[in-house]
Amino acid sequence: MLNGSITALVTPFRNGEVDEKAFQDFIEWQIENGTHGLVPCGTTGESATLSDAEHKRVVALCVEAAAGKVPVIAGAGSNETRVAIEYSRHAKELGADAALVVSPYYNKPSQEGLFQHFKAISDAVDIPVVVYNIPGRSVVDINNDTMARIAALPNVIGCKDATGDISRVTTINDLCGDDFIQLSGDDPTALGHSIHGGKGAISVGSNIAPAEYAAFHNACLSGDYEAARLLHVKLDRLHKDLFLDPSPAPAKYGLSLLGKMTTDVRLPITPCRADTETAVESAMKRAGLSW
């Protein structure tokens, strides 16, 4: 089952290319520190600026480094249904445990178009699919009724919700059933999402503090919400300050302090401003990190 602290992995670059060694070393560090699952080639992994060959290589590197120790949910989304099918098929061939498929962006499809997009993927590839609903980036929201239709597809097992609307958790549970895995896509709302019945989060902050985020989600999963609340407070600034500049620049800056990778990002993302760097350092210290 997919649950807990699932890291939306950054993709390290060096001199304009994917830093393969840094990436696999980073994955091993994540697993050693208790991360429950890994997402390569999501938004935080700068998937929008990876070439087709790079996208496939990054997923392959992740599956190899994870070595079956934790689930790999491979980013497989595209606003072109045929491309999403190809990425999902490639993830299946590599041995990824699931595919994370974002709602199509830019096209602004109807609710019927959204359903048909996910139906085409489910029909074409026998891999568990996690639906990623993020209207802030894709413009179109997958409404609850459409999510229920999508959830009934044979290969769809859950959703990543980045709407920030906690009230959806209960509604979607009512419509889709207890077996439909609901994951938060927003660290700041992960505590409330869990209380309402969510099973974890696909997290940006866990890139920086994997052990701390794993402890937070372990507390949530065990129902110890007082311990979870205290950890949430400790991590609160990290939740938020990693987005003071466009992601993943702040996360990469923090990871550079920890010696995990360079700060390199790809245009149109630019490196952090100085005041963001200061804020990230402060948030890391509040979370109990040192370097």
Q: Give residue-wise pLDDT tens across range 65-86.
A: 999 999 999 999 999 999 999 9
The number of residues in the chain equals 291
pLDDT level of residue 143 (50, 70, 90 thresholds): very high
pLDDT > 80? residue 98? yes
Among 148, 53, 172, 161, which residue's Cα sits nearest to residue 103? 161
> Could you tell me the domains of the chain?
4-227 (3.20.20.70)
Which whole number is the average pLDDT over 149-165? Answer: 97
pLDDT (0 to 100) of residue 16: 94
Q: Give catalytic status of residue 260 as yes or no.
A: no
Q: Of 119, 160, 199, 260, which is the active-site residue?
A: 160
Q: Give catalytic status of residue 160 as yes or no.
A: yes
Indicate the burial class of 228 (C-beta count within 10 angstroms; 0-12, 13-18, 19 or more).
buried
pLDDT > 90? residue 1? no
Rounded to 10°, the helix 20-32/52-66 angle is 40
The whole-angstrom separation of Cα 192 and Cα 88 is 31
Sequence-distant (6+) residues with CB within 8 A of 109 are 117, 140
pLDDT (0 to 100) of residue 202: 98
Q: Of 56, 92, 132, 213, which is the active-site residue?
A: 132
Which whole number is the average pLDDT over 246-269? Answer: 98
pLDDT > 80? residue 147? yes
